[in-house]
Amino acid sequence: MKIGRLIRLMLSICACLYFLTSPIFALQKTSSVTIHFEKSDKDTQLALWQLPEGQTLPELETLFEKTDAELTHQYPQVSTVTVPKGETKLVLSNLPVGAIYYVREAEERLGVHSLAPFILKVDTDDDQAVYTKKAKPQKRGSYPFVKVSAQGGSLEGATFEVWKQTQKQLQPVIKGGSRYLLTSSKDGSFMAKDLPFGSYVLKEITAPKGYLLSKKTISFEVTDYSEKQAPVKVVNQPKVPPRIEIPYTGNAIMILVVLLGFALFTLGVYLVRKNG
């Protein structure tokens, strides 16, 4: 009898453990993905950033413009793997089913024959395959500006931020891990350089000395011919000097005039009587 109760108790405990642990095991289900490459004469190093699930995926263009360091800061779950030269496929095993990755070549290995970045979503099929493509060279260009005063003449020392216009919002252009800033030179000229073709916005963040900060943003388009066009003028208004307030002295002047007139009148009367 006691043995039967003990067995039933152990079975109950096992059942409870099963129901408690089964969701955990379900979440840990993994799969594998095979990535196919064109044969290369050099090693290819890939970086895979795991993107958050259940959220709207960022645009590929937005991810592409970020540096490896910026991506790792935003998506800290990152893995790297090297494909030896001559190999044409890579098998990634034990990837969580449902996980989403942004995949591209690591920055230090980027070259003329870099791969096009892509989004990888792991499904339950162990035969899942991805075929990579060579990235097309990204066209880049520049855009000229000149800072001038509304009263005429060029202005030095104005600072600007450059923002990228995407389909949904503006995003600051990042270069070298920092926001891309431009400063006008002695002749007022400055240029937005080495930007991928596309739409941008220029925002003034520091005005030249003695001038008001311009709140007007300037939209511009980087194209094949934008670097050679006439510089776009960015105008600043001078600060208005404070007026010198002259105190009102009308009453005092009036009193002085009256007193002077009375004194002259008295002097005149005195002289008339004396001569008379």
- The CATH number assigned to the domain holding 111 equals 2.60.40.10
pLDDT tens figures, 59-117: 887 888 777 888 888 899 998 898 898 888 888 888 888 899 999 888 654 444 478 88
The share of the chain scoring above pLDDT 90, in percent, equals: 33
Range 183-197 average pLDDT: 94
- Other beta carbons less than 10 A from residue 167's beta carbon: 8
In a domain, 121, yes or no: yes
Residue span of the structural domain in which 201 resides: 140-236
| Distances from the Cα of 184 to the Cα of 144, 146, 158, 204, 254, angstroms | 11, 7, 5, 11, 56
Whether residue 169 is predicted with pLDDT greater than 60 in this model: the reply is yes
pLDDT tens figures, 199-239: 999 999 999 999 999 999 999 999 999 999 999 999 999 98
In a domain, 49, yes or no: yes
In a domain, 168, yes or no: yes
Which of 112-126, 139-153, 262-276 ranks highest by mean pLDDT?
A: 139-153
Lowest mean pLDDT among 52-56, 213-217, 268-272: 268-272
Do 113 and 151 lie in one domain? The reply is no
Q: Give the model's pLDDT for residue 28.
A: 63
Q: Give the model's pLDDT for residue 266.
A: 76
Q: In the structure encoding, which two tokens stand for residue 26, read together? A: 């379900």
Q: What angle do CA 60, 65, 71 make, to 5 degrees?
A: 85
Q: Give the model's pLDDT for residue 3.
A: 63
Do 126 and 149 lie in one domain? The reply is no
Do 231 and 150 lie in one domain? The reply is yes
Do 101 and 148 lie in one domain? The reply is no
Do 177 and 222 lie in one domain? The reply is yes
State the average pLDDT for the chain: 82
In a domain, 252, yes or no: no
Range 146-167 average pLDDT: 92
Range 176-185 average pLDDT: 90
Lowest mean pLDDT among 38-42, 53-57, 112-116, 132-136: 112-116
Selected residue with higher pLDDT from 6 and 205: 205
Do 170 and 100 lie in one domain? The reply is no
Dist. CA 162–CA 45, nearest whole Å: 31
In a domain, 241, yes or no: no
In a domain, 145, yes or no: yes
The last residue of a domain, from among 131, 159, 177: 131
The total domain count for the chain is 2
